[in-house]
Amino acid sequence: MLSKEEAADIFERIKKHSSADEVEVLFYSGQSALTRFANNVIHQNVAEANDGVSVRTSFGGRTARASTNKVDDESLKRVVRASEDLAKVLRPDPDLLPMPDPQERDRVSHDAFSAPPSRYFAETAAITPGLRAEGVAKIVAVADRHKLTTAGIFSNSEFVEGIFNSRGLSDWHTQTSAEVSITMLAGDSSGWQKSNSPDVNNLDPLALAETAARKAIDSAAPREIAPGKYTVILEPAAVLDIVGFMFWDFGGQAILDERSFLNNRIGTQLFGENVNIVDDVAHPLQSGAPFDGEGMRRQRVSLVENGIVKRVVYARGTAERMKKSAAPKVGPIAPTGHGFPLPNEMGEMPSNIVLSAPSQPQTLEQMMSSTDRGILVTRLWYIREVDPYEKILTGMTRDGTFLIENGKVHAGVRNFRFNESLIHMLSNVEAMGAPVRASGEESFDMVVPAMKVRDFNFTEVTKF
């Protein structure tokens, strides 16, 4: 894995090979390993190590990028030449800004930026195939004891992200990650659990396996009940996977392109008063680098306060274009450190989402105890967008869907297809749990609570 010192040396070599006005280099380096199991046995173990060098050059408003995973001098010369040759044939972009320098990067208030805690854990990096196999053995033992079939993964990685540019800016981030995903299969039911953390000590494969097994057992012989509008209790993974579909819209470029459901809605009461959303890379349950694709500091941004959409995030160039535009009601306009590496067409998005804790969080049991009749949802999948502006999504429940009657889980039920607007859903949240770091299959990891939502719209019943 590359060190910052090695990257700095590579950057100096790249600068010597370049004739561009400005040069920026992104570094990606790391190693990962994964143990995969199915039918209660390990059937695959893979490991990968790679170094990536991505060079962006600029000439008078023209910029382009080229990448390589080789760092010998000849390969560096070729990648610089490729980037420069591409840049020289492009039309100048009048909106292209000079690369940021350290002074611009650091021009952030203490309230908006704080350094995140260390996200590198030696114990996570040191996980061996044998240790992963021990974790899988615990999962399989649970499946065997309950006469279930299990499948899933146990993975770990360590990686670095770095940026250097010819205006003197440099930054570096080192992180580890561990993940366990488990599916338990019975004859006509299933259960699922997944967890991800920079610190492997935050993962408990045995507890995850027991929960997944219990869901498979308790949802056996599922009943078929009619679709319709129900009170639902969404576990954190289900919340994450459905709300994740709206955060591409919380970027300035999406507003300028008029492809955001927030167009003409910033500053309005869009959700319930109990909904508060921030983007906060320094949150102790979050992960990722504290800088964006241009090296700007990722600021803490309050996106939604008491249901009112307050603002969106910006890359440097998007903020300048927004200031010159006639877009109404966009809230504060300033770079927030959420841009992707240039050049790109997407602009920016918040990626360290935290749905803030309610003043009185409830447990799942408390939410169920106040529910006369409703549905408990473990997770959602195959989610697709139906109406971009009203943010209507369709998808299905999976791996543990239950009928709640008189405050308790009564039986497993066949899965549902839903058609639901995120605006409607987040305006009908009756209760929330304490936010946790959640993992799903349709969106990126977030810090979110379980939610009790009224009038959630199920449209069809599946065959399983």
- Report the share of the chain in percent with pLDDT over 70: 100
196 lies in the same domain as 279: no
To the nearest whole number, what is the mean pLDDT of the chain?
96
Q: Report the C-alpha gap between 203 and 139 in whole angstroms.
A: 13
φ, ψ (nearest 5 deg) of residue 372: -70, -45
| Structural domain of 293 | 222-464
180 contacts: CB under 8 Å, gap ≥ 6: 135, 139, 152, 153, 154, 193, 194, 195, 203, 205, 208
126 lies in the same domain as 169: yes
Q: What's the pLDDT tens digit per position in 171-228?
A: 999 999 999 999 999 999 999 999 999 999 999 999 999 999 999 999 999 999 999 9
Can you give the CATH number for the domain in which 133 is found?
A: 3.30.2290.10
- Residue 328 scores a pLDDT above 90: no
- Residue 411 scores a pLDDT above 70: yes
Q: Which of 405, 404, 402, 414 is nearest to 378 (CA)?
A: 402
Domain final position from 191, 218, 245: 218
227 lies in the same domain as 183: no
What pLDDT score does 423 carry? Answer: 98
Q: Which of 405, 383, 404 is nearest to 393 (CA)?
A: 383
- Residue 100 scores a pLDDT above 90: yes
**Are the CB atoms for 303 and 323 separated by under 8 Å?**
no
φ, ψ (nearest 5 deg) of residue 252: -60, -35
Domain final position from 218, 246, 278: 218
- Residue 285 scores a pLDDT above 80: yes
301 lies in the same domain as 210: no
- Residue 229 scores a pLDDT above 90: yes
**Whole-structure pTM value:** 0.96
180 lies in the same domain as 288: no
188 lies in the same domain as 238: no
25 contacts: CB under 8 Å, gap ≥ 6: 7, 10, 11, 14, 53, 54, 55, 56, 163, 164, 165
Residue 309, number of CB atoms within 10 A of its CB: 23
- Residue 111 scores a pLDDT above 80: no
Q: What's the pLDDT tens digit per position in 248-260?
A: 999 999 999 999 9
186 lies in the same domain as 237: no
- Residue 412 scores a pLDDT above 70: yes
- Residue 110 scores a pLDDT above 80: no
Q: How many domains does the chain have?
A: 2
201 lies in the same domain as 261: no
Domain final position from 218, 238, 257: 218
Distance in angstroms between the alpha carbons of the first and the last residue of the chain: 46
SS3 307: coil
Q: What's the pLDDT tens digit per position in 145-180?
A: 999 999 999 999 999 999 999 999 999 999 999 999
Dihedral over Cα of 74, 80, 86, 89: its sign: negative
Q: Which of 22, 28, 26 is nearest to 84 (CA)?
A: 22
List % helix, strand, coil for the chain (3-state, nearest 5).
25, 40, 40
- Residue 115 scores a pLDDT above 70: yes
The beta strand positions in 60-102, using DSSP E, are 62-68
